[in-house]
Amino acid sequence: MSIFVNYRNIIHFLLMQCSVIIPVYNRADLIKFTLNSLDAGFHSGVDLEIIVVDDGSTDNVIEIVRNEYPHVIVAKNRGKGAPAARNTGLAISKSEYILFLDSDDLIGEHFFKRKIELMDKDVTINACYGEYDFFECDMEFDDSYVVFKHKYPYIDKVDNVKDHLINYLGGNFLPPNSIVWRRDLLEKINGYDEKLIVNQDVDLVIRALFNNIKLVAVKDGTRALIRTHTLDNRVGTANNSIPKLKSIIELRKQIFEHHIKGNSEETAYRKALSIYLFNFWRSTRHFDKVLASDFLNLSKEVFWPIKVKGNLFLRSLASILGPVKAIELKYFLLKRD
């Protein structure tokens, strides 16, 4: 038997471990920025297992990964879509903690350590999320490229399922790149729903919340960085696509039927979901009246009447005419949508 000690394996064992799963499709121009942000020098105390899952790329992105980042594990998904690619990465990953990262986004320095330390200390916590910024450029990150976007609230109490559900049902979502998961929770809820063509990340978190996940904010001065050059035309966004908008309605119908309809105590969930659906009626009513009607009818079934936000005139109209007529009259008077 060899008496030599493999110090590399000992160091690997002592470090906190996290698997970073990155679906990729034709990102030869940007993948290096993503992988560089995961360099071990930026994440002391954490051993990162990086898994890139190729979804049938036709450029040389995988050649770049294999040649320039030999420590990265490469898997094939063969055009099955991002949710399936993430599930593929989850299935081959080895770490107790998981981060799903898009192939054009970045992770700031020391993002993992405090979050994993908190979950190691409190085994009841299933996931932690951190701060994030959106930036706009097609090159290396610089703080001057940061742009303003809405922010998810900082919720650091452990018993917080209701707070998170009100945000998610109302359309205020966390960027998935900002969440570090405990893998056993992801396995319990069977990972991503591969049938969905939109809102895959939203569905994952909502299912986790209805399984009483404990999702806790960690404000440690670190951040995830989300590139916005393609934010509005990624696969997971609706962008006025009829099939995707129909998928949004069907997903909300399932959520309502399975989790909310029989729960008479949670009026706040109904209100949040109804307002979310009502806002989709507002944005779709001129380009597809049938689809808009579906959003409105489901909004009414979930909770009605809803309150219309606006000035005193608009709120008064809503109290007299109802929110639908008030919104329609407002835009008619303004002669714009």
Give the pLDDT score at 11. Answer: 47
In this predicted structure, which of 14-28, 181-195, 310-324 has the lowest mean pLDDT? 310-324
How many CA within 13 A on the CB side of residue 297? 9
Q: What is the pLDDT of residues 20-39, one digit of tens each?
A: 999 999 999 999 999 999 99
Give the per-residue pLDDT at 129.
Answer: 98
Condensed to tens digits (0 to 9), the pLDDT of residues 158-185 reads 889 999 999 999 999 999 999 999 999 9
Q: What is the structure's pLDDT at 80? A: 85
Looking at residues 286-311, what average pLDDT do you find? 86
pLDDT digit string, tens, across residues 49-102: 999 999 999 999 999 999 999 999 999 997 789 999 999 999 999 999 999 999
**pLDDT score for 106:** 98
Given a cut of 80, is residue 225 above it in pLDDT?
A: yes
**Which pLDDT does position 331 carry in this prediction?**
59
- Report the pLDDT value the prediction gives residue 122, as an integer from 0 to 100: 96
**pLDDT given for residue 237 in this prediction:** 54
Please give the pLDDT value at position 238.
65
323 pLDDT band (50/70/90 cuts)?
confident
Please report, rounded to a whole number, the percentage of residues in the chain having pLDDT higher than 70: 87
* 85-99 pLDDT tens trace: 999 999 999 999 999
Q: Which residues contact 302 (CB under 8 A, 6 or more apart)?
A: 256, 260, 270, 273, 274, 277
Strand-pair partners of 131: 223
**What is the average pLDDT across 221-242?**
72
Q: What is the pLDDT confidence band of residue 285, given thresholds at 50, 70 and 90?
A: confident
Please give the mean pLDDT across all residues of the chain. Answer: 89
The mean per-residue pLDDT over the stretch 199-210 comes to 97
Q: Tell me the Ramachandran region of residue 285: left when phi exceeds 0, alpha when psi lies from -120 to 50, beta otherwise.
A: alpha
pLDDT reported for residue 79: 79
* Residue ranges of domains in the chain: 7-227, 242-334
Question: With bands split at pLDDT 50, 70 and 90, how would you rate the model's confidence at 286?
Answer: confident
Task: Please give the average per-residue pLDDT across 287-304, as a whole number.
Answer: 92
CATH level 2 (architecture), domain 7-227: Alpha-Beta Complex (3.90)
Note the pLDDT tens digit of each residue in 94-132: 999 999 999 999 999 999 999 999 999 999 999 999 999
Residue 155 has pLDDT above 80, yes or no: yes
Q: Please list, in sequence order, all residues whose beta carbon lies within 8 angstroms of the beta carbon of residue 276, skipping any fewer than 6 positions away.
A: 169, 170, 171, 252
pLDDT at residue 236, rounded to an integer:
46
Neighbours of 149 (CB within 10 A): 13
Average pLDDT over residues 283-287: 88
- What pLDDT is recorded for position 325? 72
